[in-house]
Structure 1
Amino acid sequence: MRALDAVAVRKWADACVRSLDANREDLDRINVFPVPDGDTGTNLLQTMRSALDALLRTPVDTVGAALAALARGALAGARGNSGVILSQVLRGLAEAAQGASTASGTSLRRALLRADELATAAVSEPVAGTVLSVLHAAAEAARNCASDELDDVVTVAAKAGAEALANTPRQLAVLARAGVVDAGGRGLVVLLDALAAVITGRVVDDPPSYDLPGHVPVPRDALTTAREAGSSEFEYEVMYLLDDRPDGSPEIERLKGDLKLIGDCVAVVGDGGGLWTVHVHCNDIGAAVEAGIRAGRPHRITVARFADQIAAQAPRFVRDRAIVALVEGEGAAELFRSEGAVVFEPGDEVTAADLLAVVVSTRARQVTVLPGDPSLREPLDEAVAQAVAAGQDVVVVPTFSLVQALAALAVHSPSRRAGDDAVAMAEAAAATRRGEVAVSEREAITWVGRCEPGDLLGMLDGEVVLIEPGAADVGGLACRLVDRMLASGGELVTVLLGRAAPDGIERVLEDHLRVAHPEVELAAYQGGQRDALLVVGVE
């Protein structure tokens, strides 16, 4: 890859989440300071997952915009000191690529150097042998790389980061005592390796051992140290967000000073656009929050007691498969939910970001989408492309009506392979004829003549086939439409009743079918559609 673009950034972010998820337990295990609370891997994973979710919810087409979305998501969802530092690494990458459509090797060099500056500035007392040492080594290696090619720069940076990681026990005594490398530094190497794999296309080698050879680890309860993560003197970690404060504002500087008086591990870092994450280890939770109130309006306040922290963290995908149905009408939405689908009710303006958020929120590895409206095709295609680029397996079953989506959902079977299930659903949808009874809103020329505003229209597979002047005889036109739909055969007629459907229309259809088509079954449901009186399907 000669240049990093927005799609590659999505692939990298997804690879980071998957790799951190796979390495989380080991990263937590080697997290031995300030107290052996074992949460660095969990915090990095949570922060990177927040960054990825923000990217997937933001329509982007440039590398600068993609990295900015990652940085803002990481800052808003930062967990722990390691998460705060990660947010600043991503911010540095974003600032260096601001306004650029793609990033070259030279751009990556500048980005790593800026990330090094911001991450170091985020820590009140930088200490050698931590993630900062690993990042600095990677940035300096990129700066001194003889080549400007993107793959050469990232390869050199990742290699230098790994070498610096191996050296951390010689820089920080507590690591040597525990027989491990720095957990935050190891997490950064995971991210650099993932970036190198995306850019070069080469599989990342197996990571080196976390433990030093021949070393007998010291019991975890004996490991404490004074470093940028704080000391064991303080019992709580307090974090919150502040809005609308520019860089260098006196309120932010005063907040930093106030927090240093009540605790340590103080980090007050921003995204360059007015959003700030505040982090402190302390014993007086109220004082930490009051300091934020003096600076602005704290929100999303979280407090963690180190003794109670749990390292367990759910993976990105919590289930194998999900069905997403795009449904209009309250009754229809409830019908699809009762069949196990995740329902999205489109409004007047639906964006790709809206649809992508629904797909991502399922947290399913494989997602099948049933669109009930062909007008959503363009934003849906864009959303699916972004989800697939980020690692989700998404398939859209061609359905042009709610009744076709219902027919597809009816044959869904979780016991089948995902591909076979999608084929079966597509076949069921294609075998369902779709009809609609609606009131004309304007004068128009149709295949069967001119219609006027207020005329009753019967449509079959998207084309007007019946016109009834006025809108009085809904039952009569509906019966004629059903007869036409059954002309080529059918066993089941499904009817969704719109908001304006006349009372008793389902009984009119039932009586007609009992006489004209006694072999056909009728299923009628309240649909609640705004535009159609009836939506009809024949299987």
Structure 2
Amino acid sequence: MTQKNIGGALFANMVLAGARSLANNAEKIDALNVFPVPDGDTGTNMNLSITSGASEVKKANHESVSVVANAFAKGLLMGARGNSGVILSQLFRGFAKGLEGKTNLDIESFVVALDSGVNTAYKAVMKPVEGTILTVAKDTAAEAKVIAEEEQDVISFMEQVVQAAKQSLKRTPELLPVLKEVGVVDSGGQGLVVIYEGFLAALKGEEVPESSQDDTMDLDDLVNAEHHKLAQDYMSTDEIEYGYCTEFMVRFEKDKLKDHPYDDATFREELSEHGDSLLVVSDDEIVKVHIHAEYPGDVFNLGQRFGSFINLKVENMREQHSNIVDQKEDKPKAKQPFGVVTVAMGDGLTQLFKSLGATVVIQGGQTMNPSTQDLANAVEEANAENVIILPNNKNIVMAAEQAAELAEVNVVVVPTKTIPQGMSAMLTYNPEVSLDDNKETMTDASQEVKTGQVTYAVRDTQIEGMTIENGHYMGLADGKIKVTNADQMTVIKELLTEMIDADEDEIVTVIRGEETFDQEESEIIAFIEDNFEDIEVEVHRGNQPIYSYIFSIE
């Protein structure tokens, strides 16, 4: 029997099945990431983004496909994390536009919606790159038009759409050489394929199982009760011993468990040394943690030993408590002329950006990309007529731009992609000049600095002609891997030699991460002074995770 239409309730089931399908495959999608750095992975970001969209769909009226699509698009937009999450949100934002006013979804309107999604997503990306999720979406939409000429049954249509998406995904290595070199398909494109597979499963009446994340949602009520307990009391923020409400969920990985077997009691004991208000829920597949800690990065490192992050969240309880007290005292503050929102991870970097004039510092970075909603909230918290956002990470720029579009005040994004770029931009910030002048000056300044980063590899790979071994250190110059070695100091010295131009550069700023040592600092300073006699050296304790050392060279 031919099925020609999809109603609102069925379309809602398709969306929710797509979200479950993505959640079930997030870890595999993470593994497709080209760079072996421990960054904010594609699967994780897409999963967190679509989960936000699915939550809105659950709350929405399912009377029409238009209502469902708009709810999904709204949730995706506000929950979008990382470039992959933002592009996904734009695809379904356009999809919803294509279904405006539609009660049912037929093949013709499905084609229109897919095409509208592609157009919206391509417009949102300043420099679209082929061989990515954009290509898979575009090829699939184009093939859907051809399929629609012959097909009348929506199930058969969707089956062929899924096959078209898979074929496009297979071609991504031919369009993006780095994918071919590493031997993987595009991770974002793979994410879109599994979403479409979820759509198809729901259409056919097949069950897409819930991910293990849903088995532990009972923790949320406990977390909320614990987290808001502080807000009930009129204590001084100085009395808050552990200032950051820290939550994360880790999916266990067999390879990591070989080196670090998970034991619930031992893990609780380890965590308890880093804070209070500890809650831990685990099963055979995941562990979910809530803790009030002073150094969230230390807590994240403990959890990451067992697997990969499904989600992370850090909230500054001292700031929240101050805001709550201010609200209770009913003393609304007048908006300031200017405010700056910036993103950084680590208490040292937070203080550094505050000292440079930042109004709000969002805890985030490589392993924790803030969502569009997080950034929008920070803009509101800045309480200013004109706000500048410094993302300080290439994977946060698009979410920042979406937050700027949604703001009710004047907001510009200075597209800083690293911490040194953000610092350099802040040094030229001038609240006495216009928003546009600040954007121009700060953007120019951010482009003048070189960024060096030292981190570790999370898997074996071959990339850019280099063989990289799991656990070895890597030195990155402006995002490109330049050196790798089992010895960290060897990597640091080779990286600095590669990056410092004795004739042009004047200063090297060293930003120490977590678990770095004074002896290392002394050796780095001595190396620079011995080999580059006219270079000035500054050192800051950033306490950032992931990157043991960050170098700003200018």
TM-score after normalising by structure 1: 0.42
- Bigger-Rg structure (1/2): 1
TM-score after normalising by structure 2: 0.41
